[in-house]
């Protein structure tokens, strides 16, 4: 429960605080993707070309994967996996401007 609350607070701060570093750490993201590819649910997403592209070019998805608390939640909780999948679906939809 505490991990969940901390993840929410960090997630909120990471997108809203002007004092937070906005650069992405490619090594950290790649390491976290490596951790997640050990699980079949993630491997299936990673092998799908539409989703895989997001892991490399979409800033919001990469920011999500950079966060170790979120990645640990993805490993441990089905609900976090569903939310991540929903994020991927939302990010792959073409934007109508």
pLDDT at 92: 86
What percent helix, strand, coil does the chain show, rounded to 5?
75, 0, 25
Q: Which of 66, 57, 65 is nearest to 91 (CA)?
A: 57
* Cα 73 from chain centroid (whole Å): 10
Residue 19's SS3 state is coil
pLDDT at 18 over 70: no
Q: What is the pLDDT of residues 22-78, one digit of tens each?
A: 688 999 999 999 999 999 999 999 999 989 999 999 999 999 999 999 999 999 999
Per-residue pLDDT averaged across 80-86, rounded? 96
């Amino acid at each position: 429960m505490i991990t969940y609350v901390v993840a929410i607070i960090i997630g909120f701060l990471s997108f809203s605080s002007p004092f937070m570093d906005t650069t992405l750490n490619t090594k950290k993201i790649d390491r976290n993707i490596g951790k997640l590819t050990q699980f079949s649910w993630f491997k299936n997403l990673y092998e799908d070309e539409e989703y895989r592209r997001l892991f490399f070019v979409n800033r919001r998805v990469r920011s999500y994967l950079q966060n170790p608390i979120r990645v640990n939640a993805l490993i441990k909780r089905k609900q976090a996996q569903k939310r991540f999948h929903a994020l991927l679906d939302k990010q792959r939809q073409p934007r109508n401007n």
